Structure 1
């Protein structure tokens, strides 16, 4: 018969697998134990390779169906907004930028609502909704076939529109990141489009919270041009970061500061 601690960890793993996210606070309330007990359980499950830690919780590493954008919005919430704030700080007035679909890039779009003299092209419905009434932002929609789960446009019409523009910066979302393969998505149309997007921009950023590093939930991959930048949170696995750096990836680690709503970042120099 399993011990009480083992039974609790089994339940944590089941909850993380079915919901996609295990929050320390929510698990503490659900299971009736202290937050420190939950953190010890998460540490053990992570060490055993069942979970990946996130800011404030963990996600399952088990294979699971593609989650909808609505399901992802609350995942790694603090980390996503810290990443979005740092990304917004890199964009200068008068630039032309390209935004992918996804919840983290959608948060970036929200941060750009007060920008002045900015041109934003996007394949994401969330970014369109955030910027549709932003007075200082000119918006271009790269329409095409809408994927309901990701709320992003893909396909030949999107690609044709993309070929008619170039960009100062592109910000991409992803379902997983590895040094060996690049960035992962559920659909080959998505990965093809991300590769094309990266080719049209001078600077390429991938916005991915720590749990996505080393994650391989699907079998469609996009390889990116040398020198791209990964923006992730400070809980990222050091081994995954080291492997990415060896491939010439610039790494930015952000962490929300309790005394300041703006994200603090440790930024590595651009590779030469």
Structure 2
């Protein structure tokens, strides 16, 4: 099958299912994942699809949000490397905010047992991972829990973050660009992320390279709000340059 034919079929599948993922397409067409990524990039540039984490959605669906299971099962190796590198940013004996996100949850899994740390989170999966940690003083932020992300949102969560000042926020995002900044599909979740940014002295963004160049419906910050981006080596040089131009340090792992 020639590339134009394959891309037309990918477009059809995306409109039928609402989403396509790289690995399934590679298996379906018996091509490499890299070939599929090139197809998706071509369709994205043509304005027919929008790249998302691990795949693509039909253009115009900026509000599309993969569920927690889908996000945890994609880019696992990259997320593991990012989470491992983030351990070096934990403040000794200090306080951190852990945002709702699959990579941040992997960081929570890796916090050493002998670490003394105050942790604040509005993410139920993160709290569940740390509830039995012997060195963590865990504070769970309340609010309405979104089914899709298992994260607390709305007024209770916003009030809680307005009352604290943490050393470091480990932040997640669905997309980041130089122009749009940091974005996520849901406005309520964006509001909590914005409040968490304001509650921290330093912001460390944990985001795999598939998030670069992606825009979602609700904006919650700019790259200038981020002190450090930890991402994987798939980040394009142009995207890295744009992040660094905003004053953000970049670490590739």
Q: Calculate the TM-score normalised by the size of structure 2.
A: 0.84
Name the Cα RMSD after superposition: 2.6
CA shift, 1:225, in A, is 5.2
Asked whether the equivalents of residues 83 and 106 of structure 2 are also in contact (C-alpha less than 8 Å), the reply is: yes
- Alpha-carbon distance between aligned partners in 2 of 1:19 and 1:75, rounded to the nearest angstrom: 14
Asked whether the equivalents of residues 122 and 140 of structure 1 are also in contact (C-alpha less than 8 Å), the reply is: yes
Aligned residue in 2 for 1:88: 87
- Alpha-carbon distance between aligned partners in 1 of 2:19 and 2:112, rounded to the nearest angstrom: 31
**Does residue 206 of the first structure (1) align with residue 201 of the second (2)?**
no
- Alpha-carbon distance between aligned partners in 2 of 1:133 and 1:80, rounded to the nearest angstrom: 23
**Does residue 10 of the first structure (1) align with residue 8 of the second (2)?**
yes
- Alpha-carbon distance between aligned partners in 2 of 1:236 and 1:100, rounded to the nearest angstrom: 22
CA deviations on 1:47-94 (whole Å, 9 max, x unpaired) are: 45256597xx65457343222212211121111111111112221431
- Consecutive unaligned residues of structure 1, counting only runs of 5 or more, are 255-272
Higher helix share: 2
- Alpha-carbon distance between aligned partners in 1 of 2:194 and 2:27, rounded to the nearest angstrom: 43
SS, match of residue 217 in structure 1: coil
Q: Matches of residues 1-272 of structure 1 in structure 2 within 5 Å? A: 4-13=2-11, 18-23=18-23, 26-31=24-29, 33-35=30-32, 38-47=33-42, 49=45, 50=49, 52=51, 58-60=55-57, 62-64=59-61, 65-112=64-111, 114-223=113-222, 226=225, 228-254=227-253
CA shift, 1:205, in A, is 1.0
- Alpha-carbon distance between aligned partners in 2 of 1:160 and 1:136, rounded to the nearest angstrom: 26
SS, match of residue 179 in structure 2: coil
Task: Give structure 1 regions of 4+ aligned residues with deviation exceeding 6 angstroms.
Answer: none
Going from structure 1 to structure 2, the CA distance change for 1:196 and 1:77 (only over 3 Å counts) comes to same
CA shift, 1:34, in A, is 4.6
Name the count of aligned residue pairs: 245
Q: Calculate the TM-score normalised by the size of structure 1.
A: 0.79
